Structure 1
């Protein structure tokens, strides 16, 4: 079975929105606050953030291999996390809720381990589905 890159990209947007919804629902149910420091909110948020990054990689490059997409997503997440060792993310996060959600505020080594926890299951699922569904060439109409 083959799907077009356009359809695949749309599916990645839907998946990213669902992952964001799950992350926000966890925060709403557990603490009732968008900004919460509880373990459940933090760790699930990190894993779901990484999952959204993975869907973003697939959105940009629909035909990329699962392992390469996973490597790029983990690398991006780690780059963002280690950038928190500078003052730039904290500076931006103090001025913008969106920056705080995307860049974080302070470095936490535990976060580094939670990013692969959000990406590896998607790599496995992608690898499995890739053997059954091919992202084909764009149709020429």
Structure 2
């Protein structure tokens, strides 16, 4: 399998927009959605970013790398030193590194990456049927 980098770049940009939008409109969204949506979209962005970087990697491995990256970032939130907290205090640093460890984030990352992997596998299945 070889992923189309343009498609994955476009999806990454689209997901970033959706993630920022989910923060802007959080007051309108139900609490259940607010709890998981932003972090699920962040993980989806990591998946599409990995898909962009690793064009030929199987979906399962792309998902595992993405999930590992997300988990490492989340676990890093247990570490608080002045230098990293200063980075987290910036808008970009807070979006990338987060602020504090939450189990709900782990669940969100898993859901976001599982959804992306399922969509990719579904798209591959449809593509294979068309080629037959």
TM over 0.5: yes
Shift in Å, 1:31: 3.0
5 Å matches for 1:84-123? 84-88=77-81, 89-94=84-89, 96-123=90-117
User: Which of 74, 93, 116 is 1:81 aligned to?
Assistant: 74
Gaps of 5+ in 1: 33-37, 134-141
* TM-score, structure 1 normalization: 0.77
Instruction: Say which structure, 1 or 2, has more relative contact order (CA 8 Å, 6+ apart).
Output: 1
* TM-score, structure 2 normalization: 0.82
Gaps of 5+ in 2: none
Shift in Å, 1:101: 0.3
Contact map agreement 1:84 1:90 (CA 8 A) in 2: no
User: For residues 87-133 of structure 1, what are the alpha-carbon distances to aligned partners after superposition, in whole Å with 9 as ceiling and x for unaligned?
Assistant: 15433112x21010000011111111110110111111212222426
- What number of residue pairs does the alignment pair up? 123
Q: Aligned-residue CA RMSD in angstroms? A: 2.1
User: For residues 20-47 of structure 1, what are the alpha-carbon distances to aligned partners after superposition, in whole Å with 9 as ceiling and x for unaligned?
Assistant: 1112222222338xxxxx6533421100
Corresponding residue for residue 59 of structure 2: 66
How many angstroms apart in 1 are the aligned matches of 2:59 and 2:51?
9
Bigger helix share: 2
Contact map agreement 1:16 1:55 (CA 8 A) in 2: yes
